[in-house]
Structure formats: C-alpha cells, structure tokens
Amino acid sequence: MTDMDDCRNRLSVLDIISKFEKNRPDLPNKPEKLTQENADMENTQSQKYLDLTDFGPVGGAKSQWRGLQTFRRKATSTRLSLALIPLTEVEGEDQEGEGEKMKKQETNREKLYKIASELLETEKAYVKRLQLLDQGFFFTLLQEARLGSFPEDVVRQIFSNISCIHQFHGGFLLPELQRRMAEWDENPRIGDVLQKVAPFLKMYGEYVKAFDRAMELINTWREKSPRFEELVLQLQKQEASANLTLQHHMLEPVQRIPRYEMLLKDYLKKLPENSADRPDAQKALDIIFEAAKHSNAAIADMVTYSCLW
C-alpha cells in the first residue's frame, strides 16, 4: 500500500465534523443516507480538504479542524462588528466632531471675555495710580512750590500733562469699558470702544518725551531741596503708594500703552475672522502700535535711571 493509499484511508475533515455534530445532543440528527448529488459533493470537498491539509503546509486534519473553528469565530465576530458600526462608531464620530466644535467655540468666547475683563480690571488699577500721581504727588508738590520752597516750573516739567491723562482715563475710557462689560452678553465686543478712544492716546507722546527729563529733575531736586525730599518721602509712605517710589509710579503711564497693545493683539487672535468687531479692533491696534513705539523706547531708557531709584 502506498503512502497515498494510506493517507486516503484516513478520516477526512468533513468526516470528523460530521461525527462530532452527530454526537451533540443540541443538534437534530441528520439522515444517515445522502442523495447521490450530496454524496458526490461531500467526496469532492473531502478530497479538497485532504489535499490542503495532509499534503499541504498545514499538516493534517487536526490542524485543519482548529483552523476551521478559528475561521468560524472570526467570521461571527466580523459580522457583529459590521452590524454595530452604523449605530455606534459612525454616529459617535459625528457627535464627537460636533461636540468638539461647540466646545472650541465656547472656549473661544470665554477667552474673549477674559481678555475684556482683564482690560477693565487693569484699567481700574491704572486710574488709581493716575489719581495718586495727579491728586497726590503733583497737587501736593505744586501747592508747596507756590509757597516758594522750590520752582513751580520744575514741578510742572516733572508731571507734564499727567492731569489730562488722568481726566481722560478716569472720566471717559474707564466708564466706557464698565458700560460695555455690563452689557457683554448682548454686545460682546471691545474693539469699537478702543477704536473710538485710540486717537486720544496720542497725548501720551508729550508725557513720554518728557519722561527722561522728569527723572533727572526728581533726582536733582531731592538733593537740592530738603523740603522737596521730605514731601516725596511722605507721599511714598502712604498706603496708596504701596511702598513704591515716585519714579515707579511715573513709569505707569509709559507702560500702559504697550499693555493695551498686548491685550488687543491677544484679543484679535481669539476673535473669529468674520466677527463684526474685527475691523474696529484692527484699527485700534494700528493706532496704539504707533503710540507704543515711543513708550517702548522710554522703557528701554529706564535701565539708565534704575540705579538712582
């Protein structure tokens, strides 16, 4: 008997499956006799599996049985996965995309509100500093100068147009920002407010140009006039002064313009391209940018005087 004859006498995969299923109590018994057509088909399939297993790379009927069971499990799992995709993954991806889009829009609106709120809060603090410079230092030293303790012209040169800056911010810009933030839910924008007031910021040019000379005069007259020195020290010790020197307070207006520029740039980054506030905000930034050039130069010069503060 040849190897081929011996191999053909072995049970085929279909014979093994048939015997296994026939002994299972949960399956109905199959008829013992097959029609001639079914018998021919079974012989053909038996020969096919025999060729693919006993003489193929798999290595036998036992291996083919395990492969067939694996195939059945994978096929069932694939059908279940395909059936679930339209109801879960596809709809879930759509919902997730919409959710992320809404979340991004909401976050953007919150960022714009935060920038506007920061502008308002810093403006409140800035107006308090201006009041200290105008009604505190400037007024007190001017009154003493009129008594003849030191020249009045010196005091006016030191404080330049600080009174005009104080009146502008305290009487106009701050109230405008407060009104806008009070109606933010109905009208969420600040570009139009800043665009309207930006031309007035040109008044800072006079103050910034006089800043270097003001620092020199303060140091000179603190040395020349004991009364000048005494009044400055008294004002610096007040609670409103927060233990800062006159020179530090006078630097505040110089720093304020670059602060507007920074906040407005951040505001424009978060502002949607199609926002109605974008044209006004961009115009305001262009004007403030020009005004900030002088302030930035003065801030760079402050290193020269910092050792004298």
Please list the rounded mean pLDDT of every run of 10 residues in the chain (309 residues). 48 50 49 50 49 44 52 52 49 58 69 95 97 97 96 97 97 96 94 92 90 95 97 95 94 92 94 93 92 72 53
| pTM more than 0.85 | no
What integer pLDDT is reported at residue 32 of this predicted model?
A: 46
What integer pLDDT is reported at residue 87 of this predicted model?
A: 46
Asked, for residue 175, whether it belongs to a domain, the answer is yes
Instruction: Report how far residue 172's alpha carbon sits from residue 253's, in angstroms, rounded to the nearest whole number.
Output: 16
Closest Cα to residue 124, out of 162, 169, 164, 161?
A: 169
What integer pLDDT is reported at residue 109 of this predicted model?
A: 87
What integer pLDDT is reported at residue 66 of this predicted model?
A: 55
What integer pLDDT is reported at residue 65 of this predicted model?
A: 47
Q: What is the count of structural domains for the chain? A: 1
What integer pLDDT is reported at residue 54 of this predicted model?
A: 41
Asked, for residue 271, whether it belongs to a domain, the answer is yes
Asked, for residue 57, whether it belongs to a domain, the answer is no
Are 167 and 128 in contact, with CB atoms under 8 Å apart? no
Other Cβ atoms less than 10 A from the Cβ of 260: the count is 25
- Compute the Cα dihedral for 208, 297, 127, 230 and give only its sign: negative
What integer pLDDT is reported at residue 128 of this predicted model?
A: 96
Pull the structure tokens for residue 302. 């402050």
Asked, for residue 90, whether it belongs to a domain, the answer is no
Asked, for residue 142, whether it belongs to a domain, the answer is yes
The CA–CA distances, whole Å, from 280 to 39, 73, 259 equal 88, 66, 18
Asked, for residue 254, whether it belongs to a domain, the answer is yes
Asked, for residue 149, whether it belongs to a domain, the answer is yes
Asked, for residue 303, whether it belongs to a domain, the answer is yes
Instruction: Report how far residue 194's alpha carbon sits from residue 192's, in angstroms, rounded to the nearest whole number.
Output: 6
Q: Domain of 172: which CATH number?
A: 1.20.900.10
What integer pLDDT is reported at residue 3 of this predicted model?
A: 47
Other Cβ atoms less than 10 A from the Cβ of 204: the count is 24
Query: Domain range for residue 190?
Result: 108-308
